[in-house]
Amino acid sequence: MTQPPPPQQPPNEPPKGGFGAPQEPPAGGFGAPQNPPAGGFGKAPDPAPSYGYPQAPAPQTPPPAQPPTAPAQPPVQPPQAPATPPPAAPPAAPPGAPAGQPNYGYPQQAPQAPGYGYPGQQQYQQPQYQQQPYAQQQYQPQPPTMPMQPGPADGGSGGGKKFSNQMMIVAAAVVAIALIVGGGFWYSSSQKDDTQASSGGSTGGKDGKGGKGGEKTGEDGQALPEQGPAKEKAPADPAAKILMQVPQPEIPKDQIFNATGSVLTDDVYGKSGINEFNGYDPATGKKKWTIPLSGMTCAISREVTKDGIVAVVTEDAKRNKKGDYQECTNVSALDLKSGKKLWTESAETSGMKATFKEVTISGTTIAAGAGTSNGGAAWDVSGKALWAPKVGQCKDVGYAGGDQLVAVRKCGTYGDEKLKIQLIDPKTGDEKWTYPIAPGVDNAKIISTNPVVFGQDTTEITATGVTDVFSLGNNGKLRAKISLEEKKYDHNCEVNKVNDCSSIAVGNDRLYVPTRPHDGGGDSYSQVNEIVSFSLATGKPTSDRADGGESEIFPIRMDGPNVLAYKSHGYKQGAQVVSLDGKTMKETKLLETPSSEAVTSAISGMVPQSNELLYGNGHLFLGKKLLSKPYSKDEKEYVAIGFLAQ
C-alpha cells in the first residue's frame, strides 16, 4: 500500500497567544443541558452523510465447505454461532514460505454480494464501513498477505493419513496441555507492567496492567490475559451537562495548526494547545496548569504510567510567521500530577536528528517510532537513553505499548523490504519472538499488545482501516486470520503509523468492529449500523450484535469484559456513551449529551470517530487534532468540549 506524503504547509501568519482557560460561564453556567450559554457552541457545518447500500439477503442454504482462508459467517436471521467446517487441506504455500504453512491471503475466488448488518453464513459477507461514503465496487482479489500457520480451529490436516477418534482426542489433550503450560510460563516470566491506559483506549489487557494468564483460555486452549471487572457504572441520571469548552484561538487563513493529543485520568484531563499542554480538572472543567512545549505537538502516548507520566512528541521549534512546519524531533515526559515537564530528548541517526511520528509507553519505557524514515528510539521515564535508531537494513517502523511492547520492524534493501511483528524487551529492545509478514505487504497496524493482534491493508486503494486482522499466541504463532472485506466495516487507522487505530477493540478473545453505516429504512432517513465481533481463536464471526438503533455506533474501548461504545446523536436525541455487556451485548446508557442544535452541531464539528474521544467515570471529552480557520465569522470552533453525567 503506497503511503501518501505529509501535507505541505502553506505560509501565513501564526496566531498570537495560546489557549486560554474555558470561557467563564454566564448566569446559569454552561451546565444547562438544553440551553448552552451565550457565546457557546456555534453552528458547525452539517457532516456529509455516509450512504450505505443495503441489499436483499440471499436465500438461507447450507454453506459449502471452504478452505481456511474463508471465514464462516453466521446467518442473517438471528445470528448464531457458525458450525465448524469439515477438514480441508490447506492451499499450497507461496515460494519461500515456511514449511507447513498454508498460502493465506493470496488471490482467491471473489465472495458473493453482501448483506448488511448481520454476521452471515459463508455465502454472505458482513457490511464493511468507511468513514466517508464510497461507491459500490466489484470485489478485487487481494494481494499477498501473511502466510499463516494452521491453528487448531482450522480443522485441516494438510492431507495424508486420517486419525482415529481416540487418537484425535489424545492429540488434542496433549496440545491443550502444552499451550496452557507454555502460556503460564510466558506470563510468569514476564516483568510486571507499570503503565495504565488513559480512558481513551487500551492496546489490550487489564487497564494497562500485565495479565497473569492461565486462568482463562480461548477456544483453542490459548491462555488469555486477565481483564478484570468493569469499572464504569451507570449514573443515577445519564443526562449530561456541559462541563467545559475550550475555544479555538485565531488561526491565520490557509494554515493548519497541530493540537494532537489528549489523556484522561482520575485527576486531570490533558489536552494539547498551541506550543503547550494544558491540564483541566475533570470535575469542574477549570484549567489547573499549562506546560510550555518546544513547538506544536505531533503525537502523544495513549498510556500513562502509574506515577502520572505521559509522553509527547513535539516540533523542535515554534513555527515562523509563514507557518512553516518544523521537524518532529523532540520527545518529552510530562508529569500530569504536578503539571511540569520532566525532560526533553532527541536521537540522532546518520548525523541528523531523527523525526518521530508516534510514541508509546510500556512499563517504564518510552518508545518513539519514526515510520519508514529513521527507525525507533527509546528512553526510560527518567530520561536515560535505552536504544537509538538502528543503522543498516533493519529499522523499527513503530511501537505499541501497554501490557507488552510490540514493534513493527522493516528489513531489506529498497524495493525488497519485508515487515516483521516482534515482541520486544522494553528494557533492551531485544526481540522475544518474531512473526514475519508476507512479501509485498508494506503496512502493519498494531491493534492490541495483549493479546497481540495486528492488521494490514491489502487492497489496491488505501482504506481508512485494515482488511486483514491476525491474532497471535503467546509464543508468536498464528492463531487465526480475520477478513474485514473492503467497504463493509467502519474502523479507522492513521496512515504511516502503526499504533493509531480507533473504533475497533479487542477483549473477551474477540475483535469488535462496527459495520459501515447504511440506510435505516422505513420513515427514518438516518444512517445506522451495528457492532459485530469475530473470534480471535477461529477467525469466525460470533453471534454478538449491538444495534445502533436510529444512530451510528462504534466501540471506544474495553471496560473489563464490557465494550464501551459511542452512539451519534439523532433527531431530538443527544449523543450517547453506552456499555455493552460482554456476554449478552445488552446495552446500558452511561451518558447522553444535550439534544439542542447548538450542542449537536458542535459535536458533529469535532468528528468523534476520527478525532479524540475519551470517556471515564461519567465524563466525556471530545478534542480536535488539527485546527483551521472557520468558514465564516459566525462559526465558533472548539479545541475541546466536555460533558458530565449528573
Measured CA to CA, the distance from residue 394 to residue 424 in angstroms comes to 15
Measured CA to CA, the distance from residue 558 to residue 309 in angstroms comes to 22
pLDDT value at residue 527: 86
pLDDT over threshold 70, residue 17: no
pLDDT value at residue 263: 98
Residue 640, helix vs strand vs coil = strand
pLDDT value at residue 633: 80
Measured CA to CA, the distance from residue 575 to residue 536 in angstroms comes to 31
Q: How confident is the model at residue 234 (pLDDT cuts 50, 70, 90)?
A: very high
Query: Tens of pLDDT along 129-169?
Result: 333 333 333 333 344 344 333 333 333 333 333 334 444 44
Query: Tens of pLDDT along 63-122?
Result: 444 444 434 444 434 444 444 444 444 444 443 344 444 333 333 333 443 333 333 333
pLDDT value at residue 166: 43
pLDDT over threshold 50, residue 35: no
pLDDT value at residue 224: 93
* Average pLDDT of the residues in 605-633: 93
* Average pLDDT of the residues in 581-599: 96
Q: Which of 89-103, 128-142, 290-304, 516-530 has the highest mean pLDDT?
A: 290-304
pLDDT value at residue 273: 96
Domain boundaries, the chain: 165-224, 240-645
Structure-model confidence comparison of residues 440 and 303, the more confident one:
303
Contact 637, 630 (CB under 8 A): yes
Per-residue HEC secondary structure of 488-548 comes to: EECCEECCCCCCCEECCEEECCEEEEEECCEECCCCCCCEECEEEEEECCCCCEEEEEEEC
Structure-model confidence comparison of residues 619 and 141, the more confident one:
619
pLDDT value at residue 460: 61
**Torsion angle defined by CA atoms of residues 292, 297, 299 and 303, in that order, rounded to the nearest 10 degrees:** 20
Angle at alpha carbon of residue 637, lines to 634 and 642, rounded to 5°: 130
pLDDT value at residue 4: 44
Query: Tens of pLDDT along 376-388?
Result: 999 999 999 999 9
Contact 159, 89 (CB under 8 A): yes
**By C-alpha distance, which of 281, 279, 386, 296 is closest to 334?**
279
pLDDT value at residue 293: 98
* pLDDT over 90 percentage in the chain: 54
Measured CA to CA, the distance from residue 581 to residue 583 in angstroms comes to 6
Measured CA to CA, the distance from residue 94 to residue 91 in angstroms comes to 9
Measured CA to CA, the distance from residue 593 to residue 240 in angstroms comes to 5
* Average pLDDT of the residues in 430-444: 94
Count how many Cα atoms sit within 13 Å of the Cα of residue 448 in the half-sphere of its side chain: 30
The secondary structure of 232-243 as a DSSP string is: ----S--BEEEE
Query: Tens of pLDDT along 192-206?
Result: 455 666 765 444 433
Grid coordinates representing 594 are 444535550
Place of cell 468558514: 631
Measured CA to CA, the distance from residue 208 to residue 394 in angstroms comes to 29
pLDDT value at residue 533: 98
Query: Tens of pLDDT along 235-287?
Result: 999 999 999 999 999 999 889 999 999 999 999 999 999 999 999 999 999 99
Structure-model confidence comparison of residues 197 and 60, the more confident one:
197
**By C-alpha distance, which of 216, 256, 288 is closest to 474?**
216
Measured CA to CA, the distance from residue 257 to residue 4 in angstroms comes to 20
* Average pLDDT of the residues in 612-631: 95
**Is the bond leading into 64 cis (omega within 30 degrees of zero)?**
no
DSSP character at residue 100: T
One-letter amino acid at 444 equals: A
pLDDT value at residue 78: 41
* Average pLDDT of the residues in 533-545: 97
Measured CA to CA, the distance from residue 197 to residue 303 in angstroms comes to 4
In angstroms, the first-to-last Cα distance of the chain is: 47
pLDDT value at residue 43: 41
pLDDT value at residue 102: 39
Query: Tens of pLDDT along 39-54?
Result: 444 444 444 443 333 3
Burial level of 86, CB count in 10 A (0-12/13-18/19+)? exposed
Topology, domain 240-645: Methylamine Dehydrogenase; Chain H (2.130.10)
pLDDT value at residue 305: 97
